[in-house]
Amino acid sequence: MNATPMYSSALSLLTRSIARRKVTLQTGLSYYASRPLAPSSRRPVVVTIRQHVPGMLPISQMPTVSEIEFATVAAADRFLRAFNQGSLCSRAW
């Protein structure tokens, strides 16, 4: 399953391949990807991509723009490392 934006906009969208997944997001914004700390082992692991809004904390209150399901925690973690570029900072799109 590829990431599908949860917003509609006439603004410019850009698709990038990250950890073998196609992700389409609005250009000119910053994003942060995360997953639950203790996902259930019986369900797919859902990674949430949120728009980074400076000064807005906690991250869970930032607008969700996409969700991607992964079969394992390891696969989700590989995507997170690639998307977040190994840091806790947001990624400019």
What is the per-residue pLDDT across 39-62, written as a single tens digit (0 to 9) for each? 666 788 999 999 988 887 787 788
Q: Is residue 8 part of a domain?
A: no
> Would 45 be classed as within a structural domain?
yes
Q: How many folded domains does the chain comprise? A: 1
How confident is residue 10, by pLDDT bands cut at 50, 70 and 90? low
In a domain? residue 6: no
pLDDT, average across residues 24-48: 87
Say if 83 falls within a structural domain.
yes
| Location of structure tokens 């203790």 | 38
Does residue 3 lie within any of the structural domains? no
- Using CA atoms, how far apart are residues 73 and 1, in angstroms rounded to an integer? 15
Question: Of 55, 4, 3, whose CA–CA distance to 30 is shortest?
Answer: 55
Residue 59 located in a structural domain: yes
Domain extent at residue 52 = 13-92
For the entire predicted model, the pTM comes to: 0.78
Whether residue 40 is contained in a domain is answered as yes
In a domain, 50, yes or no: yes
